[in-house]
Amino acid sequence: MDLLTPEFGLFFWTLLAFLTVFFILRKFAWKPILSMLSEREKGIADSIATAERVKGEMSQLKAENEKLLAQAREERTAMLKEAKETRDKIVGEAKDAAKAEANKIIIDAQHQIEQQKNAALTQVKNEIGSLAISVAEQILRKQLNAADGQEAYMKMLADDIKLN
C-alpha cells in the first residue's frame, strides 16, 4: 500500500511546483493564450461571415447571369424572328415585283402580237383588195372590149344611180 499513498513531502513539493507553474502560466501565458483564442475565434467568425456574404453575392451574380442569359436568348430569338420576317418580306416583294414585271412583259408581248396581227390583217386586206381590183380590172377590160358589153355596163350604172 505504500505505493498507492504518496508521502507527504512528495505531495507537498508536487503541489507547490504545480501551483507555481499554474500562477506563472496564469500571470504570463493565460491572457495571451485567451486573447489569441479570442482573436482566432473572431477571425473564424469574420471568415464565416465573409464566406456567407460572398456566397450570397455569388448566388445573386448567378441569378443575374441566368437572367442576362435568358434575356440574351429572348433577344436572339426576337432578332432571328425579325430577320426571318424581313427575309420573307423581301422575298415576297421580289416575287411580287417579278410577277408584275412578267405580267408587264406578257401584256407588252400581247400588245405587240395584236399590233402585228392587225398589221398582217391590214396587209392581207390590202393584198386581197389589190387582187380584187386587179381581177375586176381584167374582167372589165375583157367585157368592155366588146361593144355590147360597154352598153350593158352603162345601163347597169344608170340603173344603179336611179335606185340610190
Decide if 25 is inside a domain: yes
- Residue 3: the pLDDT is 63
Range of the domain at 76: 8-121
- Inform me whether the pLDDT recorded for 59 exceeds 60: yes
Domain-embedded: residue 72 = yes
Half-sphere exposure of 105 (CA within 13 A, CB side): 6
Q: Is residue 30 in a domain? A: yes
Which pLDDT score is estimated for 156?
Answer: 78
Would the pTM count as exceeding 0.75?
A: no
| pLDDT at residue 136 in the model | 78
CA distances from 147 to 39, 92, 141, 142, 152 (A): 158, 82, 11, 11, 9
- Does position 91 have pLDDT exceeding 80, yes or no? yes
Q: Is residue 23 in some structural domain? A: yes
Separation between Cα atoms, residue 57 and residue 76, nearest integer Å: 28
CA dist., res. 41 & res. 33, Å (int): 12
Judge whether 155 lies within some domain: no
79: cell is 432578332
Alpha helices in the chain (DSSP H): 8-24, 31-145, 147-163
Question: Is the pLDDT reported for residue 17 higher than 90?
Answer: yes
Whether 92 maps to a domain, the answer reads yes
Q: What is the mean pLDDT of residues 85-101?
A: 94
Number of structural domains in the chain: 1
pLDDT digits (tens, 9 = 90+) for 137-158: 777 777 666 667 677 777 777 7
Check residue 134 and give its pLDDT. 81
For residue 54, tell me if it sits in a domain: yes
Domain-located, residue 93: yes
Average pLDDT, the chain: 88
Any residues with CB less than 8 A from the CB of 143 and at least 6 apart, and which? 149, 150, 152, 153
Tell me what pLDDT residue 141 has. 72
